[in-house]
Structure 1
């Protein structure tokens, strides 16, 4: 009989059958298990770094399809020996269980297969009635149609109860044996295979001997089935049961919290190197133990791989206490930058052709209205190379360079670096922008240092080409690779040569020992590094890069409290080098020759050499360096044969006059420069018998700009003096001092004059005996 004929003759039966089939097809929920799961993170090798307990208070790791073969064997031998042969239920087992329970008058034995147990687990272990068993049987057969046998075992392993608040094989393995399931012994695996049958037996004092007997019976069965040999069996039964629950590893707790915000309840493989993370944790703990004695409680460290832009180590905070914000992840929190932005200004000026590495820049007392920047040691070099000013982190040259370069222009560069915490306008920050007037975070800063290093790497490796997405954010996820974009001949932010020269300026780890401000570090590794200290000693920074790695360190107090000694080089610097000691050595960056030009440099001034510069060196500089102005500090002068005096034909025969190139700094720069440079020769004065113009120049040392000066009282209650200072190019000059056209007195050689002015506005005039004069206006307040 045809099917169509049968349907016509038995319409009601057919409808009922179709309804049943439809019901059967859709009776199984799409998602069997919907309870919340723990957020779990691992290293790039799959090693557990940490986990957060699920929202319902259970240690329930996310579903894992990977079940060790050893565990599958134990589970099947204990729970369902015919698992791979039945369609979801085992009629023989059901019949035996029914007969035994009928004789006993109560349920003593279950005939459930692993598939049925999965269904029961998904239905929250409802009461074991015969009707419920029938439902489980139907749903189990449906599950067999939907999922493979391996998938069903994975469902069981991920959701079986293991006592207390432990659910699933992965969580149980870590809680009871402190390692992942694939590393368990036969004895340990057998324990976890039998435990869900009676999960309360795991706790000491609660009939653990019953659990031991169950385990050993399973091991005996494995021996009988020749799954294990006799030696393995004998050793296995000697192993004891776990007596306590281990804490889940928390190797990167702040990273775990960060990922939990984005991928809550998921299993996440990160880019973290577990060994390096553990070593960094130890380094941070050791330094915390010392720094906490000085009331410094928080530390964060970030390590990046330059080539892949992956995060290798993430320490969000020191192992402090709740009182000192233990749970605050400082890595992405805005903090005052101190001097850590100075390399970006240096690179920007190189990139714009406004500077060469050894160009002398002014380091003298400076006022910009009411703003008076000072160097850390409150000393001045007069003139210092830009490269050395950067490596010594001098504030005054930096501010003067920023003012010369342009505040808006530098602010634009920082915006292109995508430092997200620099949100205000350039005018809001003012000239403090390069000294800590702005805020940034360790993540963005390390990202920028890594991008600069990577720019040089890529330029050298890709036939002098850049990548359009070079300054991208690092990644924490092992399954995500950074797309650096398309190749281009155009620079992205800084050209490769400017970056290379900046890194060259930062790489000397044996820094000059300027009083207590600098320390010596091992120079066996070539590392370009920079420190920073914020105003009030609230933030200490150290960020360093090699060709392969970037390490960033922040030290301070999360609540913003400043502490004496909280200085970048003293607190953050040692941590940075301890971390670098755990990283492989790197070769230095290749010089980007296509972005560089070899030119003559004046040795003394660092500018492009002119014909009258007597000492020159051929150096590779950035191509934009060709736009820099030539040396302004060398002049040709006529001197006598002894080079003691300047002369001219009015006082000396032409054949006795020598024309000599002389390195001459402006008076104010010269005043400080010659203190630091004993071989500096001031310009000789004219011999007394010579006629003609004699150039004599002078300039105020203090005050250097129109400013408001506050004169507090001293300990004796007397008003402090105001000491005026002037530098003059002629040591024999006599200066005449006036205040608001009132004569004050004269000075010779050392030109300083102390007065006790009243509150008010003053115009100071200083005139020399050659008729030159200078003026300075100030306001005095008490």
Structure 2
């Protein structure tokens, strides 16, 4: 110990100097060698290249890859550094040989650098090739050898070596020059790339082909001599042609690449995209785009989700249109008017809340709420239609009436729980048009929620009738990301499984587009729950469908919002939807969630829970909340004579001759339209002559209905035309008497329509029947 202290005392300066040198050596190498920007690269779930975005400095430089193809490794070691695995970072023999050759020639002809030294030189861009710089490289190379193993150093070289033009790294080079992955290159192709970094500014494909060919073949001969390849491989390799010019990089999912680059710029992202399915969907979109553009419809978006994993399988953000028609816009996450695509959510919510049953009759008659007057697409009315038919036929008037019954704020609350991020305003901002396209949403959010509903139903029937708390989660396009559906619970997440099942049963019956309309007669046909939507002004066409395993969403329109005639969901978006579903494996239909259902008696005519007055009933499985629905209001007991020809009461018939029976009775306005579509609907029999009938409401206005303001029509010559007023009566043959401001204007029988030419102003229209029943309507006639 004493001796050690004496040595330290007498050599303090030397030891300090040595320590400084050691520290300088230790810290001489930067923690990060390469800081140049890299390309954003996306691959499929099977590591197949989908697309790449050029780096900010204009170079095709893929992110570092630690996996080096064996053929390229053998070629680069044979060409650049045979003793790579033996030297400490520099090769003294190569340096001496290079020094002699350069000294004799009077200029620097040979570098003698190892691959490790070249990694250092590449990381120190812009340094001149002098002996002093060479000395620095040697020092840094030895330090690099201490930090990294040989494979990592070789990977750094492969990822950052120049390959001519603006191509950097083996991965970018293999795609630019041979249009495939580096691991799929032949010996000849690998040898071609191995010689390029040696003189990238002088030799690259398309320039100095003879020099490049000579270098490649010399390397292949060396590989033959080393017995790395056999003679047959050598002969086949030297016979291969050189690449003439760079290939464009694949752009199979350009809008997904654009989307990913916002959060993962400069990274290589392995996505969940199925490359084959993506390419097939691209072809479908391309073919439909060529048809639709003839009608000046230029933009299409398609999204395909895996229900079980919630992974994105296909992502087509736009059609292959031009810049003028905004081909750069990613439609999938852009807000667009929803049309009818939200109707299934309302239907499911009402089932879940116990407000309706699938078969419940919903009024389909002229309707007005204030200034808002919804219309069915075909401008017709059914009088009354079952809730499930209202959904499958996408009838607007029943949907608005259902929303009004359910409550606007209540439905808005459900939409917020669905995390539709483009529903930004309060319920009153949208009004009752919310369910018909008064709001905006995007393809991503809509498909996400259809997938969540399908997954809810799947999980419920696959587990012990349980739900998952995080069912309504965000899908992912990252392959390595696993969706956490949360803990199991006996409580529903949002909608119960039975309500979802009944919704899908209705959506399965939606009329398919031409060519798919007889699908149920073919064994190969897929059972799909699907819905279309068309926004006001024909600006947006939607089609979203789901099976147990997949959700497909399609949007068609113009990115600038221009509407076009014929831009209707079932005509433009639906054919694309079914073309994409044809690419997907067939799925079994959803299992019925019996544990979330109960069996009750249903009135076969009205679809309501059967009352005591309903004689024609059947047992049906409905959601448990269906027990809360009201009993049938349309079957009522009436008294008939013994021949059942007239209605009677005690004022005109003895009790012995009175027959009591149940009769299906709709309100007059509903009955007026209902009997047109249902010829077997029986109106109430007339009262027997001499019977006294209690006064009651038996008639309603058809026009004007809820509208209190009527614009007087004019023809092309500005001559005022007649206004036709219409009333319906439960007994059409009854005579009705019409009054305008208590002034008699006429009577009608059977067809209760009356024409008149009132002057501008406020009036009271009064209609009285021969039994003394009376209805009134205040109207404002204006020009």
Indicate the TM-score class for this superposition, using the shorter chain for normalisation: over 0.9
Q: Return the offset for 1:695.
A: 5.7
- 366-375 or 377-386: bigger deviation: 366-375
Question: What whole-Å deviation, never above 9, does each CA across 1:679-731 have from its counterpart, x for those lacking one?
Answer: 11111112225455476611111111142222342223212322111110112
Q: Which residue of 2 aligns with 1:598?
A: 599
For 1:410 and 1:14, locate their aligned partners in 2 and report how far apart those are by CA, in whole Å: 80
Q: Give the 3-state SS of the residue equivalent to 2:519 in structure 1.
A: coil
The 10-residue stretch of structure 1 (557-566 or 731-740) with the greater mean CA deviation from structure 2: 731-740
> Per the alignment, in what secondary structure is the counterpart of residue 285 of structure 2?
helix
Q: Spell out the pairing of 1:335-350 with structure 2 (5 A cutoff).
A: 335-350=336-351
Deviates more, 1:681-690 or 1:496-505: 681-690
* Correspondence for 1:127: 128
What is the aligned partner in structure 2 of residue 79 from structure 1? 80
Residue deviations 1:494-537 (CA, integer Å, cap 9, x gap): 111111111111012545x9xx9x98263411110010001010
CA distance in 2 between partners of 1:414 and 1:281 (Å)? 32
* Alignment coverage as a number of residue pairs: 778
The structural deviation recorded for 1:211 is 1.1
Q: Distance in 2 between matches of 1:123 and 1:724?
A: 89
Alignment partner, residue 634 of structure 2: 633
Q: Residues 696, 526 of structure 1: CA spacing in aligned structure 2 closer, same or farther, 3 A cutoff?
A: same
* Matched-pair contact (CA < 8 Å) for 2:206–2:243: no
- 2:364 is matched with which residue? 363
Alignment of 1:55-94 (within 5 A): 55-94=56-95
1:124, distance to aligned residue in structure 2 (A):
1.1
Give me the whole-angstrom Cα distance separating, in 2, the residues matched to 1:753 and 1:180: 80
2:519 paired residue among 506, 513, 522: 522
Q: Tell me which residue corresponds to 2:683.
A: 682
Structure 2 match to 1:247: 248
1:203-233 superposed Cα distances (whole Å, 9 cap, x missing partner)? 4663211111111111111111111111111
Q: 1:752 Cα deviation (Å)?
A: 0.9
> Does 1:562 pair with 2:559?
no
Matched, 1:461 2:462: yes
Contact 1:306-1:450 within 8 A present in 2 as well: yes
Residue 773 of structure 1 and its aligned partner are, at CA, apart by 0.2
Residues 656, 206 of structure 1: CA spacing in aligned structure 2 closer, same or farther, 3 A cutoff?
Answer: same
Change (3 A) 1:774 1:691: closer
1:375 paired residue number: 376
Q: Tell me if the contact between 1:200 and 1:206 (Cα under 8 Å) persists in the aligned partners.
A: no
**Alpha-carbon distance in 2 for matches of 1:519, 1:93:** 73
Q: CA deviation at 1:201?
A: 4.9
**In 2, Cα distance between the equivalents of 1:235 and 1:3?**
68
3-state SS of 2:68 partner: coil
Kindly indicate whether the alpha-carbon contact (under 8 Å) linking 2:296 and 2:564 is maintained by their aligned counterparts in 1.
yes
Divergent runs of 4+, >6 A: none
Q: Distance in 2 between matches of 1:82 and 1:356?
A: 80
How is 1:505-516 mapped onto 2 (pairs within 5 angstroms)? 505-510=506-511
2:537 paired with 1:540: no
> Any idea what SS the aligned residue of 1:632 has?
coil
1:184 pairs with 2:181: no
1:382-404 deviation line (CA, Å, top 9, x unaligned):
00001000011100001111111
State the partner residue of 2:33. Answer: 32
Change (3 A) 1:754 1:325: same
Counterpart in the other structure of 2:759: 758
Q: Which moved more, 1:609-618 or 1:15-24?
A: 609-618
CA distance in 2 between counterparts of 1:762 and 1:439 reads 40
- Residue number in structure 2 paired with 1:487: 488
- Aligned 1:691-706 pairs, distance under 5 A: 691=692, 693=694, 697-706=698-707
- In structure 1, the gaps of 5 or more residues are none
For the 8 Å contact 2:529–2:546, the answer to whether it is kept is yes
Unaligned 5+ residue runs, structure 2? none
Instruction: After TM superposition, give the deviation of residue 637 of structure 1 in Å.
Output: 2.2
CA distance in 2, matches of 1:564, 1:205: 51
Q: Name 1:328's counterpart in structure 2.
A: 329
Kindly indicate whether the alpha-carbon contact (under 8 Å) linking 2:278 and 2:314 is maintained by their aligned counterparts in 1: yes
Q: Larger deviation: 3-12 or 563-572?
A: 3-12
Secondary structure of 1:724's aligned partner: strand
TM-score by length of 1: 0.97
Contact 1:366 1:705 in 2 (8 A): yes
Structure 1 residue aligned with 2:22:
21
Scaled by the length of structure 2, what TM-score is found?
0.97
CA distance in 1, matches of 2:654, 2:214: 119
The corresponding residue for 1:588 is: 589
Q: Given that residues 696 and 729 in structure 1 are in contact (C-alpha distance below 8 angstroms), is that contact kept between their aligned partners in structure 2?
A: no
Residue-by-residue CA offset, 1:308-331 (whole Å, 9 max, x unaligned): 111111111111111111100111
Distance in 2 of aligned mates of 1:304 and 1:392 = 26
Instruction: Give 1:210's aligned residue.
Output: 211
Once residues 582 and 205 of structure 1 are traced to their aligned partners in structure 2, the CA distance between those partners, rounded to angstroms, is: 40
- The Cα offsets for residues 428-469 of structure 1, whole Å up to 9 and x where unpaired, read as 111101001111111111111111111111111121111111
Counting only pairs closer than 5 Å after superposition, residues 399-410 of structure 1 correspond to structure 2 as 399-410=400-411
For 1:716, the equivalent position in structure 2 comes to 717
- For residues 739 and 426 of structure 1, what CA distance do their matches in structure 2 show? 39
**Counterpart Cα distance in 1 of 2:478 and 2:397:** 42
Q: Give distance in 2, aligned partners of 1:692 and 1:137.
A: 114
Q: Distance in 1 between matches of 2:207 and 2:539?
A: 55
Match of 1:317 in 2: 318
Name the CA distance, whole Å, in 2 between partners of 1:419 and 1:579.
25
Question: Does the 8 Å contact 1:453/1:545 carry over to 2?
Answer: yes
CA–CA distance in structure 2, aligned partners of residues 3 and 387 of structure 1:
96
CA distance in 1, matches of 2:167, 2:466: 55
